[in-house]
Chains A and B, each alone.
Chain A
Amino acid sequence: MESLIDIVLLAFLVGIAFAIVWMKDLLAVIMLLGIYGLLSASFFVAMDAVDVAFTEASVGAGISTLLMLVTIAMTGRSEHPVRHKPFLALAVVIITGSLLIYGTLDMPYFGSAQAPVHQHVAPRYINDSIEEVGVPNIVTSVLASYRAFDTFGEVVVIFTAGMGVLALLSVVRRPKNTTGDKARDIAKIDLINDSMHEQHLVLRIVTKMLIPFIFLYAFYVQFHGDYGPGGGFQAGVIFASAIFLYAMLFGMSTARRVINQSFIQLLAAIGVLLYGSVGVVSLLNGKNFFDYSALSVDPIAGQHLGILLIELGVGCTVASVMVIIFFSFADRKDNGQNLESNGIENNLKENNKK
């Protein structure tokens, strides 16, 4: 049964990948990419990787689809046909692919317990982590304790990517003392937003009921990560997606009023700092960097405290970076639209004068 599910899901993935190559409408491509994300996440569940499935579900199917949608709303949705003949590309791909397949012939078979991957450090993690770290979820204990330095690097990469997006896409704020004309424009935009809200009455009410639940669930995932699938990465993404939902239905200006830009930037930095400072504290107490047993008299309690703190740091950083990225894109899009509509109005005025 399990191998049947494996075969079928992978066959779906290949079918969708070929359909993505074939399609020219980028919006359809992105819809298919959403299905692709959902499918690969189900595949991860079938392969026992519940934590990975958790992350892929929220990231691959949710956030990356959203970001790509906002982007193609700015850049246009149809792709030009490929002009030159793709024979060269096809030849390169086929040769590389057949070499890789030749390479797989030496690999240990799928699922064999004697494969070299399972011999080196994994037995130590599986057998000893409950005594050394005291957390039932082995993935969390490896992520947050054994390989904490590695994870620190990943968090810094995420932070840097967020700052990069901010540097590329941040829009210049309007000066506060706007003249009457501009103020009227802003009021008009707000009016348009409000009228759009009137149309989505059902959606707004259901969303209002769902959002507190999503926040609660994000906290559950954050703090239950030691005992089940979950942890800072997943919780951060879920937290951010609740904010996306709010921003999409109630308009960016309302969301901006709820979430302050400088506060969210500060929170992203605080997450990284919290993570790093846990390491520094254990260094000051005379143990190795990220050796949490230095945090408390009882080593297991120290491990628990350390994992809790760094997961909190990861959650803060991931959530705020995702919000920063999404807000940058959405702001960019709204501003572009306002410029466009102003341009159209000006054109109309000129035409009327003529």
Chain B
Amino acid sequence: MDTLYIKKSDIPSWWNAIKAAHDHVVAPVRKDKVVEFARVESYEQVATDYIQTTRSAKEVLFPRTERLFSYKKNGRDIEVQDFDPESVPSQVLWHVRPCDAASLFPLDAVFNWDYKDVMYNTRRERTAIVATSCATADEYCFCTSVGGGAGDTRGSDILLTYTADGAIAEVMTEKGKSLVALSQNLFTEYTAGDKDKYVADVPRVFDVEKLKEKMHGMFDSQVWKEQSERCLGCGACAYVCPTCSCFDIQENPKGSCGERLRCWDSCGFAQFTLHTSGHNPRSTQASRWRQRLMHKFSYIPQRQDSLGCTGCGRCSRACPVDMNIKEHLSSIDKIQ
């Protein structure tokens, strides 16, 4: 790992070099009241005055809707057109939060668990991640409680930490190095000490290791009903979550042509587990809420050696009835 330094005034030229070298640069952009990731053409478009984007950066690798294949019927013949890896551009994800970068671990695990998902992996390979340490946080943030931090480098190819007049660049991977190499002359060694003073202080509110252990035995707890009582059963939390990866397969036939699509889905919906028979194994919102938390804090850790939550707080911000996950986890933590 190299720790380098770049002057504030030099960042735009480095950015331009990156933009010139890669097809797409994706960065947070302000639209009215919300900030969302979007393809940007100039450095000025990048938004910095926000705590968190509404949606996470996962859709760069796992789009809301993506085509698995298309087909065309010709009389009795059928011609199928498969996913073409060559169609995936090389891209740079700029100015993501460390909590988003950290979310790639559980996503990588899901898409490579038994079946290796070509579409996800191709995008993953062709995407470089330049994250930015958080200088500010709000009451929804709890990255430190789930093993991350406002200056955490996990998942990033480069982590930038802004100082008063420049940025500390922690170059973590070869991909990162090649991005630096585009403007090597702008970087200097950084030796001025700890970055911590430039990074937001996010208080730790529970011990995640204890929590994981405790939740393992909590399947039949009353807490799920109590916590989920006000849940309305929408999909907002799952759709804004950086690690939620449930999807649904849909057909889009148009006469003799058509395509098969993969679309986001959410375990919060009542229909998610509805069987054709009419039976629904998760028939109550309490069981669906339990699934959401158990999945993130019990099932994923058991199988994939990572947590299913990075403490970004998006679900809490998006929830129409203020289901605050940090608060709910803390209260589980406090159960004796």
* Bind each other: no
Chain B contacts to A: CB under 8 angstroms: none
Chain A contacts to B: CB under 8 angstroms: none
